[in-house]
A and B are shown apart, each in its own frame.
Chain A
Amino acid sequence: MRVGFKNDAAIVRAIKSGGSQRQRAIRFLYQVNQETLKKVVAYVRSNSGNEQDGQDMFHEGIIVLDRNVRAGKFRGESSLAGYLYSICRFLWMNQVRKHSRTDLREDNSTMDQTETENPESLSLEEEKKKVLANVLTQLGDRCKKILELWKLSYSMQEIADQLDFSSAAMATKNKYKCHKKLMNYLKAHPQVMNLLR
């Protein structure tokens, strides 16, 4: 059953609070923005892309929106739907420019310039994805999960419950070890650090 949210502020609160609230909010956002999805697909198709590119951009847009909301970068000056659409258009414009596929019709007039970041900072590039794969292999599934939950504002007790640690203190200890493991990996691989910069 779809769990509703009263308004954008409630969705933002849920995403920021992390955990299952965030998951529900993102699921809700995905379902109520099917019209935005169609618009993104239409935009991408009218600018050298295809249906699949449009779908992918919509997903990348939600990923960026989630990150920006958690980082406090979304200030609520526009609706979440409008913000999402602006991000998707920005991401696609950026991608097309990078691949120099064709002349993209400039569409700055309808962009939410007050809240959308520099496109360079929005895109998750292929290289970063490869880096991610390496990092994940090094960390192992359990460490990866601990760090992910920690970053998503789960409490140490919630992490302990989810990953079967005997206590919150044990979860804290393991989080520390995993974080150090990740940082040691980065320290030993300056080329990876440069990609993340």
Chain B
Amino acid sequence: MNEENKYQQIQDYLEGRLDEAAETAFEAEMDRDAELKTEVDLHRLSGDAIELIIADELRDDLKALQEENKQRPVPEKKVRPLRRRLTSLSIAASVLLLIGFFAVNYTANQYDNDAIADTYYQNDLLQRVRGAGSESLLQEGMTLYENGEYEAAIEYLDGVDNPSLVAEAKYAAAHAHFNLGQYAAAIDDFLVVADSDDPRFAEKAEFYYLLSALAADQTSTDTFNTILEKILNNEAHLHHNDVLKINQKLQSFWRKF
């Protein structure tokens, strides 16, 4: 075998392009031929070295992106002469008096529970691999969910009983209930997931529980306040910043007004 052919065969082996028989034969040859084994090792290590090059390039790209984000212009506030500002303010005050009623009405609406839940809610889709049994039910449920067929999705998801998949199924079912406006059911399912301590979903479930409780106007319960406080006090929580903003709205003058 000439050098280039040997080179190509090693690459084909490492990149999984050999069929099963050829792969077995190649491995047997490696066991017999120490030199070939060393050569394969060298190919592997060279791949790692190229990965270092790729990482270094990407690191530079990310730094450039970071700079780009920093340099995005922040709108400047214009400073205007006092007399002009007073005139403008007088006009603005008159106009405000006229539209005040409507403005108050509109603004208050931005701070009601439904509006807050709507603002922060996003479908949180998951992708899974296909499997058997409960996994197949979960997969079917997820597919229906992704297609917006929420009621059918819930039927499949509620059938999942494999303990290792229940949190994921409940989490998806909770979102399906939320999308159907079935907030009480969404609350129940999100709480189950939040209590499951499944690291993939527990923090998200806590956040979506809050949104469901807002949508259902159940914000005076102990559970709501406990979870709200928990997220507010944990800076590393996935949704800490969102909940900070929500809490500001909950405490806002306009909401109380």
Contacts and interface: CB of A to CB of B under 8 A. Distances in A.
B46 A183 contact: yes
A128 B58 contact: no
Interface stretch (B95-103, B126-134, B215-223): B126-134
Most buried by A among B45, B46, B69, B126: B46
A9 B127 contact: yes
Given A79-B126, A182-B49, A196-B48, A132 B56 contact: yes
A30 interface: yes
Contacts of A197: 45
**Nearest 9 A-B pairs (CB), nearest first?**
A42-B235, A76-B127, A59-B62, A132-B52, A151-B50, A43-B236, A196-B45, A78-B200, A63-B55
Contact of B129 (A30, A75, A124): A75
A82 B42 contact: no
A59 B7 contact: no
A104 interface: no
Contact of B235 (A46, A60, A67, A148): A46
Contact of B57 (A9, A107, A113, A148): A148
A56 to B, nearest CB: 9
Contacts of B7: 176, 179-180
B196 to A, nearest CB: 12
B199 interface: yes
Nearest to A192: B49
B241 A85 contact: no
Contacts of A55: 66
Interface residues of A, number: 59
Contacts of A193: 42, 45
Contacts, number: 124
Given A148-B53, A183-B42, A187-B42, 7 more contacts: A34-B69, A60-B59, A112-B199, A132-B56, A148-B54, A150-B50, A182-B49
Contact of A144 (B53, B127, B240): B53
Interface string A24-42: 0011001100110011001
A158 interface: no
6 contacts: A59-B63, A67-B55, A85-B238, A114-B200, A148-B57, A180-B7
B43 interface: yes
B20 interface: no
B200 to A, nearest CB: 5
B interface, size bucket: 35 or more
Given A42-B240, A46-B236, A63 B200 contact: no
What is the predominant secondary structure among interface residues of chain B facing chain A? helix
B148 interface: no
A111 interface: yes
A183 B7 CA distance: 11
Nearest to B7: A176
Contacts of A62: 58, 62
A124 B52 CA distance: 8
A186 B46 contact: yes
A26 B61 contact: yes
A78 B203 CA distance: 13
B55 A7 contact: no
Interface string B130-154: 0000000000000000000000000
A102 interface: no
B200 A112 contact: yes
A152 interface: yes
B65 interface: yes
A77 B53 contact: no
B243 to A, nearest CB: 12
A191 B68 CA distance: 39
Contacts of B4: 176
Contacts of B65: 27, 30-31
Contact of B50 (A109, A124, A148): A148
A107 B236 CA distance: 11
B14 to A, nearest CB: 12
Most buried by A among B50, B128, B197, B235: B50
